[in-house]
Every structure is written in C-alpha cells, then in structure tokens.
Amino acid sequence: MNLSLDFSWMAWTWPTATFFLVIAAMLVGMTLWEWAVPGGSPRYGVLGIETTRGDRFFVSLLGSAFITLAWLGLVGPDLWWALGVCVVWALGVFRWV
C-alpha cells in the first residue's frame, strides 16, 4: 500500500513553501498567544469597532495580500520592497486598529 501523495501538479518552489510555512508559523504563534493570554485583547481603534488580536491578524493578512497583488501589477516581480511595506502595514494594523 503506497501512501505517498503526488503533488507534482503543484508549482511548489522554495519561496512558495516558505510563504505557507511562515503563515502556518504565524497561526501557531497566534494560537499560543491566545492560549497564554486569553481574550484577544479587544479594543476600539481607528475603525471605530471592537477588534481582537485575531481580527487584526486577519486584516493584516488580507491587506498584505492586496498590497502584494498591487505591487505585482504596478511595479513588477521584485517583491522584497513589497514585503517591507506589508510588515509596516501589519505593525500599523496591530498598533492602531
């Protein structure tokens, strides 16, 4: 019985694998943070609604996806600067949203 999975149809490259591993590590980190300090630290930010750590994490990931797509469309495939913009975006979201 062969249990190996054939993922040859997927375009797995080191950057793609690293991207998904980093997202998985951030989700594990957020889970451990919630386990250590339950409640999600709800607060009211610039949006005028109550947000928790999970909400801010989701908004930062969603915004980073749009930043990256816009960068690809407007600037090109050199994404290192886009990564910097995404990090600044995520820090801003966790600070002010």
**What is the per-residue pLDDT for 5?**
67
What CA–CA distance (Å, rounded) separates 39 from 35? Answer: 9
Residues 6+ apart with CB under 8 A from 47: 97
| pLDDT tens per residue across span 31-77 | 999 999 998 889 999 988 999 999 999 999 999 999 999 999 999 98
Q: How many CB atoms lie within 10 A of CB 93?
A: 23
Q: Pull the structure tokens for residue 84.
A: 């910097």
**What is the per-residue pLDDT for 47?**
85
3-state secondary structure (DSSP) of residue 80:
helix
| pLDDT tens per residue across span 80-95 | 999 999 999 999 999 9
- Chain centroid offset of residue 84 CA: 13
| pTM score, whole prediction | 0.80
**What is the per-residue pLDDT for 2?**
61
What CA–CA distance (Å, rounded) separates 23 from 89? Answer: 16
